[in-house]
Structure 1
Amino acid sequence: MIHSRLSRILATMVAAATMTTSPAPAHAAGDAVSRVEAYLNGIRTEPGRLREFAFDLPKGADVHAHLSGSVPTRGLLGSAMRDGLCVDTTSFVASAPPCRAGQRPARDAATDLSFGDDVVRAWSMQGFTPGSESGHDHFFAAFGKFGAASAHKGEMLAAYASQAAAENQFALEVMLSRQSGKIGELAKKVGFNPDPARLRERLLAGGAMAAIVKAAREDADADLKEMRAALQCGKEGADPGCALPLRFILQVTRTSAPEVVFAQMVLGFELAEADQRYVGVNLVAPEDDPVALRDYRLHMSMLGYLRGVYSKAHISLHAGELASGLAPAADLRFHIGEAVRTGKAERIGHGVDVAGEDGSAGLLAEMARKHVLVEIALTSNCQILQVCGDRHPFAAYREAGVPVTLVTDDAGIEHTDLSSEYVRAITTYGLRYADVKSMARAALDHGFLQGRGLWRAPDDYTPAPECAGTPLGGASPPAACKALLKASPKAGAEWNQEAAFTAFEDRYDG
């Protein structure tokens, strides 16, 4: 039953990607790249063929995806119907039964299609037109409306993994929250201390944090068990999503009280030390929220301190997800720089307001020098911030040599997918095949999978010495290269992507 429900969800997600073409004959690798470039140039004005090209393109990974926002909205509505939830007819907030006055059973959407459409519009950006409510406010309000319908994380992970595999991704990174209630209780019991060392000491004392870490690891166990069941992993006909390595990034709610924010950060760092499935932390919730603005520098200093204490957790930060009018002008002058320099961010999510940062040119040069990747979410930034096309700093980052990759942010709410983000980038910015190939490689190069990468240096797509001189992605790598691939999940995923690039270039080389 779970698998059949999942199939219906996935059918919605991939309905636009059913076209096929016959493979082209293989040519030499160098010739193939130039021929793919020529093919791309020939289809730029043909939406169907361009979509097919982008869908088939090996795309590394979507390294900026929130689990709760990544599932198709009608899939969430299906969960609400199955769980017997109620939906407020004015606010469209889902809640547990019994239904009260002013609410309707979610299952009414099965027979009242207009009601179902209203729910989907309230829970997503589908059909949204800015008016009395901005895209920013509508987007962030959606999470609170469908929250009760997002309880089945394992099934959500299954839908996410299946879609990623179908779109030719080779690893999974997903942001989610864990044990928020328990960590909040602990933080409030401990209280705030401006000395992060003392505050961490208090949080770790008495074993309460250790118990929360244990519970979060058990959450992962349960979710992955449900996910694997939904994908039929280990059985004949298993979904290809079963084969993708999956890693979690713990969400830290930046609008919470300082002691709660710090406790969530500590949980993320502790989890990364204890469990290789957890690889990092990220701050979530509106960056322009008054509390988030007030505590921004404090949050960065907390992360900087924890970076010096722990060795394993990575840091990727929503920073610069701002535009004029959303926040005081002063806040548009330092958020990205503070995230890079004080918060020790290895990746920046969005980075939309970089042009307004103090010393913007110097910051861009610093990010390029430090290899700080920017996670570019074109659809999200256009819908939420109304920063689109030439107003977006995508081209500025690339011109400055800052590594970038394309991401979805919240594909379900935004009604997009990673292939659509590549189509949008190719169409809007005239990208060449070499550009999109580099961005797809960058996703894994800067991804948080453990191990050495396939490349000799960051953003230098020359093979590491062990794998030099052999066809990348080939079936019979030399012994030293084989040892690297076996020891490193990251190198293994990158090798698989290179094999897919070879097949892709054979198919589209003219």
Structure 2
Amino acid sequence: MVGAAHANTANDAPVAAPPSPTASPNAAETTAQIFERIRHDPVRLAMFLRRFPKGADLHNHLVGAVYAERWLEWAAQDGLCISTAQARILPTQCRARTGEMSARDLAGDEDARNDMIDALSMRNFRPGSDDRSGHDHFFGTFERFAPVEDRHQGEALADALEQAARDHVVYAEFMISPALAPMITSGMHHPLKNEDFAAARAALAPELPGLAAQARHETDVMEARAHEILQCGTPQARPGCAVTARYLFQAIRVVPAPAVFAQLDVGFELVHADPRFAGLNIVGPEDDATAMRDYDLHMRMFRAMKAVHPDVHLSLHAGELTPGLVPEDGLDHHIRDAIAIAGAERIGHGVDIAWEHDPSALLQDMARKHVAVEIALTSNEEILGIRGAAHPFSLYRAANVPTVLSTDDEGVSRGDLTQEYQRAVTAWNLSYDDLKSISRNGLTYAFLGGESLWNGDNVITRCQARQSYTCTSFMKASEKARLQLALELQFEQFERDMAAMSLFR
């Protein structure tokens, strides 16, 4: 189910024979040698990694994936006003007030345009008296472009799919919050009483079908618009149509508890019933006062809802914290409770793992349960000030915890998935085989239906014989395996191309 309205559904793709784990050994070995020669050449390394096939981007907030220039372009299309004094897009047309200008006029005022791009992203950020930290500036950007957001979800999806295609990404899970406002409003009408979640669900039950229907409708409209922009299903289809996508419903954690519960109630129902939604997450600054106060309560909400819908997959933001943001007793249990209480199958960020109670035991538990960590190097540096060797990426790898590289908010951060791979290569001594393993992890730990093509580092027994009826039948029944096969075929082509290109010799 491709984000752009089924433009390249895995169910419709032809089933090819799975690769041998030793396919094209000479090209693969040559590519590994090329990688070692260019790893300290930033320009050629970036070119290499841009073309490198990437299994998935599993941690991508759709609204944060859009570059500031696009928000300003859409604001101009909508006839909206810019507050140059507040450095934000206003929800109205201009009213001849000082410090305001039409978004349409930004094209003729380069200084104002650059100021707005800096305000709506992390570009050129420098701390100041009015903008104290990367953390505050990062999260503040979303309010500044919010008036344009709802009317351009389809354009945002099209942009994100095109960027994924440029990064040679096979699959993406975009976090979205359709029908968010009415869910929050509904929740506020039904206060929680003594954590009686069953009673809360009963109170919300009459409104749940309508809220879920509205969320599905908004998703339909978004997909239809993206489909139109990308011309999916036509001879002029854009590359983004070839990226397979699902959505993670994201609940906002910085609102009162009844509003969070209403989001989870509808979100679980939506994921359970609509195959476009692969799973559920909870988002917002983890260090926010409400988020910190209610963190344990939120985990118990997830546990209660997971009992109702055990088929719903969870990837939870947890451990996006440092001692500089919260007291140490706020760092010692978020990752563990997201897994042990809420039932998270993946963890987003996980930066504060070393401050957890008995981190060694927790890492062992994550490795044993195959709980993957979505590593977002750029945003962790910009928001938390954690960079290079200070990041626990190598700690997770040393403990055999599965890791994947993700963009988080690539538009706000002014980056992409290629940049995440380059940061990892530059900071740690990763081999070409390490990169392939991380890329494969993206599909192994994606919330896709069907069994994996891989058993550890080996192709499963049923597919050792590439042309066998057993393997062909298996591939038809597993969307995960079909996308994993697509990645392997891309690896083979990439390695043939690299081996033949004089630029990398």
- Residue aligning to 1:504: 494
Q: Compared with structure 1, are the counterparts of its residues 314 and 109 closer, same or farther at alpha carbon in structure 2 (3 Å cutoff)?
A: same
**Mapped partners of 2:93, 2:37: distance in 1:** 57
**Mapped partners of 2:256, 2:278: distance in 1:** 24
**Mapped partners of 2:469, 2:66: distance in 1:** 41
1:213 touches 1:271 (CA, 8 Å); kept in 2? yes
The amino acid of 1:415's aligned partner reads R
Q: How does 1:274-353 map to 2 (within 5 A)?
A: 274-353=273-352
The amino acid of 1:191's aligned partner reads P
Q: Quick one: which of 457, 463, 470 aligns to 1:461?
A: 457
**Is 1:119–2:116 an aligned residue pair?**
yes
- Residue aligning to 1:42: 37
The amino acid of 2:203's aligned partner reads R
Q: How does 1:223-302 map to 2 (within 5 A)?
A: 223-302=222-301
2:271 touches 2:280 (CA, 8 Å); kept in 1? no
SS of the residue 1:152 aligns to: helix
**Mapped partners of 2:219, 2:293: distance in 1:** 33
**Mapped partners of 1:98, 1:110: distance in 2:** 17
**Mapped partners of 2:44, 2:262: distance in 1:** 49
Q: How does 1:47-446 map to 2 (within 5 A)?
A: 47-100=42-95, 101=97, 102-132=99-129, 133-150=132-149, 151-193=151-193, 194-204=195-205, 206=206, 208-446=207-445
SS of the residue 2:56 aligns to: coil
The amino acid of 1:203's aligned partner reads L
**Mapped partners of 1:396, 1:80: distance in 2:** 44
Q: Compared with structure 1, are the counterparts of its residues 28 and 462 closer, same or farther at alpha carbon in structure 2 (3 Å cutoff)?
A: closer
The amino acid of 1:115's aligned partner reads A
**Mapped partners of 1:90, 1:504: distance in 2:** 49
The amino acid of 2:192's aligned partner reads F
**Mapped partners of 1:76, 1:479: distance in 2:** 51
- Residue aligning to 2:16: none
The amino acid of 1:82's aligned partner reads Q
Q: CA deviation at 1:220?
A: 1.4
2:51 touches 2:168 (CA, 8 Å); kept in 1? yes
- Residue aligning to 2:476: 486
Q: CA deviation at 1:337?
A: 0.9
The amino acid of 1:398's aligned partner reads R
**Mapped partners of 1:84, 1:490: distance in 2:** 44
SS of the residue 1:327 aligns to: coil
**Mapped partners of 1:289, 1:295: distance in 2:** 10
Aligned residues: 473
**Mapped partners of 2:469, 2:82: distance in 1:** 59
1:268 touches 1:313 (CA, 8 Å); kept in 2? no
Q: Deviations over 1:383-407 (max 9, x none)?
A: 1100001110000000000000100
1:108 touches 1:115 (CA, 8 Å); kept in 2? no
2:91 touches 2:148 (CA, 8 Å); kept in 1? no
Q: CA deviation at 1:453?
A: 2.0
Q: For structure 1, which runs of at least 5 residues remain unmatched after alignment?
A: 1-26, 471-476
RMSD (CA atoms) = 1.4
The amino acid of 1:109's aligned partner reads L
Q: CA deviation at 1:429?
A: 0.5
1:66 touches 1:174 (CA, 8 Å); kept in 2? yes
Q: CA deviation at 1:37?
A: 1.8
Which deviates more from structure 2 when the two are superposed, residues 301-310 or residues 412-421? 301-310
2:178 touches 2:219 (CA, 8 Å); kept in 1? no
Q: CA deviation at 1:382?
A: 0.6
Which deviates more from structure 2 when the two are superposed, residues 260-269 or residues 125-134? 125-134
Normalising to structure 1: TM-score of the pair? 0.90
The amino acid of 2:266's aligned partner reads L
Q: CA deviation at 1:333?
A: 1.0
2:87 touches 2:144 (CA, 8 Å); kept in 1? yes
1:284 touches 1:318 (CA, 8 Å); kept in 2? yes
**Mapped partners of 2:31, 2:162: distance in 1:** 27
The amino acid of 1:190's aligned partner reads H
**Mapped partners of 2:442, 2:276: distance in 1:** 18
**Mapped partners of 2:241, 2:61: distance in 1:** 19
- What's the % identity of the aligned pairs? 41
2:59 touches 2:374 (CA, 8 Å); kept in 1? yes
Q: Compared with structure 1, are the counterparts of its residues 308 and 243 closer, same or farther at alpha carbon in structure 2 (3 Å cutoff)?
A: same
User: Looking at both structures, which has the greater relative contact order when contacts are Cα pairs under 8 Å and sequence separation is at least 6?
Assistant: 2
The amino acid of 1:201's aligned partner reads A
Q: CA deviation at 1:28?
A: 5.9
Which deviates more from structure 2 when the two are superposed, residues 30-39 or residues 72-81? 30-39
The amino acid of 1:171's aligned partner reads Y
The amino acid of 1:236's aligned partner reads P
**Mapped partners of 2:93, 2:497: distance in 1:** 55
2:179 touches 2:211 (CA, 8 Å); kept in 1? yes
The amino acid of 1:273's aligned partner reads H
SS of the residue 1:190 aligns to: coil
**Mapped partners of 1:485, 1:213: distance in 2:** 33
1:84 touches 1:96 (CA, 8 Å); kept in 2? no
